[in-house]
Amino acid sequence: MFLRVRYLFILLIVSFHFGFAQVQEIKPGKKHATAFAIIIDLKTYNNCKDAVINYKNSVEDDGLSAYILVSDWKNPDEVKKEIIRLFNQKPPLEGVVFIGEIPIPMIRNAQHMTSAFKLDEEKYPWFRSSVPSDRFYDDFDLKFQYLKQDSIHKLSHYYALLSDSPQRIERDIYSARIKPSGADINKYEIINSYLNRVAKIKKEKNYVDNALVFLGHGYISNSLTAWSDEKLSLQEQFPELFVPGGRIKNLFHEMDREMKEILKRELQQEGLDIALFHAHGDTDMQLLLSYPIAQNVDENLEAVKLYLRSKIRSAERRKQPVDKAKEYFMKEFTIPEYFFDGTFSDSSIAADSLLGYKLDMYLDDIRNIKPQPKFILFDECFNGSFHLDEYIAGEYVFGKGNVVAGEGNSVNCLQDKWADEFLGWLNKGVRVGLRHREINLLESHLIGDPTFRFSSDSKYDLNKMLVLGRNTISDWRKLLKNEDDILRGTAVRILFYNLKSKFENELVDIYQRDKSFNVRLHALKSLAEINGEGFRNVLLKSINDPSEYIRRKSAEWMGEVGDVKYLPVLTKHVFTDESDRVVFNGKSAFGFISINGSLNEVKKYFAELPSSDYKNQLEKLYIPSLERNKTWVFDEIIPNIKNDTLQLKKRISEAKTFRNYKFRDAIPELVGIMLDNNQPDSLRNSIVEALGWFSFSIEKKTILGAIEKVIVDKFSSGYLKNEAVKTKYRLIQGANEVMLP
């Protein structure tokens, strides 16, 4: 989808919806092979002109021709029209940055393009149930219908993804936001300070030789196996961090009870280059730690009392009877009433509040430190919520320290993604924006300067190769034989982009022989994109990969494909793999593949084990759980969907279950209900949408055939046909992000 021209007039065709504002264009001062655009609102430009010009000059000194576009922007379509105009000029545009009050697209009907966001768009307010996303600006092929402007949040404009739009994100350029965080702030002063600071930093030599990695409470189920495996991945991508002269600190949330203070100290270490946060998050906090693990009887008692105080206070906030809440817990846990002493005393409330405050990083915490990493990855929910006045990433990037750019999410995100994908490019001097262009998720955004790059002594100019030489197959084939893991992995992916299924056999061979975890994962991801026999067969080998992450994803993919040939090997891993995450994915995949088949396979496995108490415990744990799948699907969910005496919203809710729980056995029943013209349109529509999540299923042809019947049926409403067309394209084009099906 890169460097395409077929969409040249897309925005011009729809531009009649709005009267476009006059745009002031400041042209590049230097001629380079590619260009960059600084898009800024008129008021911000008038208040920050000198700093903006200084920033523009620093971008041009670093090898990009830079435009400045100034206007009193009224809506996103005005902005996108100008971006596409510049993209089709010479030199070609490779990226943009939005400074100040630039309209924010709020996307609806596109939750399959996110990693985790599945909020009911009918039930919740639009501002909450839409995804703030600049994919509107940087993927030119996506088609949207303008809905309305938010009446309160005037920068926000709502768009619906059209059914005949591409249903996958494949970005043409990179983008970023420079939008300070804070309620009562002088935003122009902050922007001036930030742009001048960045212009200065861009002149410095900054190699990646000092990094900080933190894993927070509850992330990837607190798996030490997964945590330790990331270190191996980073060692391949940043070898300089693991030799004398380099430094990487891997912090786990349980290492110290004062981990929050340790993090604040480490973030301010001079010379720190990158920081990676893997944790839960919210718009105004990073959820770092759990309550301290008790070390003795007294601490255990205090932990119980703390828990009880929090529950009683919660009952009061919800205006529930406090006495009844106490009675419930006293009976449930057989505890005396004095365990609740001090629940509402000022001293107890203050002490408990202080303890809770020590667990997480808040906006004020960040405002009181000077973070030093030039780049921060916020692998956390909501930390990149730039549509709000205050947000975590904005505090780091535009605060008192030396942060240049951060990558965060505007809504919630999935933990199980490949967070470090292409991160090694930073070690090769690739601009952070070019690396982020490969992250095709609706919610993922760069905050700060996207043109920033670390210093590198590599003889390969990947910035140029990734933009201008992306289709030069001969150059990438040479890199396929390079000893450097980063270059070899890059070559795998770029050759796949160019060759698609013609590259399938080579990808299988690369997976089987390459020593690098990252290269093997690039090959596997490319095979998943092709979704052919090569991919389905290689899973039988990748489930045994030394890498925990590859085994984990392989188990998940097996469930998505739904082939019964996977059951024997999955059974083995569920009972022998050392990683809880692999075991969890394998157990989930059991039922998705075959409810009865998985039950029989597990019974067969137990029959071959010698008798022991441990075997008996496993049987009591697993057999009822697998039998429960059958009851849940065929005695509860499907009958509830069919039950016309239930409330329609309940039936629809049951149908939506299959967005996440892709039971192959349920497909015939779902198809039957979907094709029944006597069923309510809204129910059939929810089933059509749910079936769009079965993109890896070996029943995909069956589903597509049924979807086509809905499309051509003269009795199908336009509402239903639109969803059917969208599902058809979703199934044909494949999952938006194959690592997160």
CA distance 566 to 536: 10
Is the pLDDT at 18 greater than 50? The verdict is: no
Distances (CA, A) of 664 to 18, 589, 591, 593: 46, 10, 8, 6
Q: What does the pLDDT read at residue 524? A: 99
* Beta-carbon count within 10 A of 458 CB: 13
In this structure, which amino acid lies at residue 502? Answer: K
The tokens for 190 are: 């902050």
CATH superfamily assigned to domain 462-627: Leucine-rich Repeat Variant (1.25.10.10)
Q: In this structure, what token pair is assigned to residue 390?
A: 């205050």
Q: State the DSSP H helix or E strand holding residue 41, giving kind and residue range, or none if neither.
A: strand 35-41
pLDDT tens sequence across 555-594: 999 999 999 999 999 999 999 999 999 999 999 999 999 9
Q: What is the pLDDT of residue 501?
A: 98
Q: What is the pLDDT of residue 5?
A: 39
d(CA 227, CA 241): 17
Euclidean distance between CA atoms 698 and 588, whole angstroms: 17
User: What percent of the chain shows pLDDT beyond 90?
Assistant: 86
- Inform me whether the pLDDT recorded for 14 exceeds 80: no
**Strands 285-287 and 360-362: what pairing?**
antiparallel
**Residue 631 carries which DSSP code?**
I
Residue boundaries of the structural domains of the chain = 10-189, 297-357, 462-627, 648-733
Give mean pLDDT, residues 184-200: 97
Alpha-carbon distance 548 to 325, whole Å? 44
Four-way CATH pick for 10-189: 3.40.50.720, 3.30.360.10, 3.40.50.10390, 3.40.605.10: 3.40.50.10390
* Cβ atoms within 10 Å of 201's Cβ, excluding its own: 16
Residues recorded for the chain: 741
Non-local CB neighbours of 40 within 8 Å, separated by 6+ positions = 48, 52, 68, 69, 70, 98, 99, 100, 102
Distance in angstroms (rounded) separating the CA atoms of residues 199 and 402: 12
Residue 13 binned pLDDT confidence (cut-offs 50, 70, 90): very low
Q: Retrieve residue 307's tokens.
A: 């828990």
Q: So what's the pLDDT on residue 194?
A: 99
Burial of 246 (0-12, 13-18, 19+ CB in 10 A): middle
| pLDDT score of 10 more than 60 | no
Cis preceding-peptide flag for 91 (omega within 30 of 0): yes
pLDDT > 70 in the chain, percent: 97
Strand ranges for 196-329 from DSSP E? 210-215, 247-252, 274-278, 280-282, 285-287
pLDDT in tens, 504-560: 999 999 999 999 999 999 999 999 999 999 999 999 999 999 999 999 999 999 999
Token digits for 328? 């419930």
| pLDDT above 50 (res 478) | yes
Which pLDDT does position 175 carry in this prediction? Answer: 99
Whether the per-residue pLDDT at 8 is higher than 60: the answer is no
Structure confidence at residue 186 (pLDDT): 96
658: closest CA among 625, 626, 636?
A: 636
For 5, phi then psi, to 5°, come to -125, 0
Whether residue 16 has pLDDT greater than 90: no
Around 202, how many Cα atoms within 13 Å sit in the side-chain half-sphere? 27
15 has a pLDDT exceeding 70: no
Pairwise CA distance, residues 87 & 426, whole Å:
25
Rounded to an integer, the average pLDDT of 636-648 is 98
How does pLDDT run across 698-710, given as a tens digit for each residue?
999 999 999 999 9
Radius of gyration of the chain from Cα atoms? 27
pLDDT score for 224: 85
Whole-angstrom Cα distance, residue 19 to residue 31?
A: 32
Which two structure tokens, joined as six digits, stand for 536? 């389905």
Residue 287 tokens read as 């959820």
**pLDDT at position 20, please?**
58
State whether residue 734 is helix, strand or coil: coil
Give long-range contacts, CB 8 A cutoff, 24+ apart: 299-306.
304/333, 304/335, 304/339, 305/339, 305/340, 306/352, 306/355
CB of 417 closer than 8 Å to CB of 737? yes
Distances (CA, A) of 340 to 290, 294, 297, 353, 356: 22, 19, 18, 16, 18
Residue 674 CB neighbour total at 10 angstroms: 25
State pTM to two decimals. Answer: 0.93
pLDDT in tens, 674-704: 999 999 999 999 999 999 999 999 999 999 9
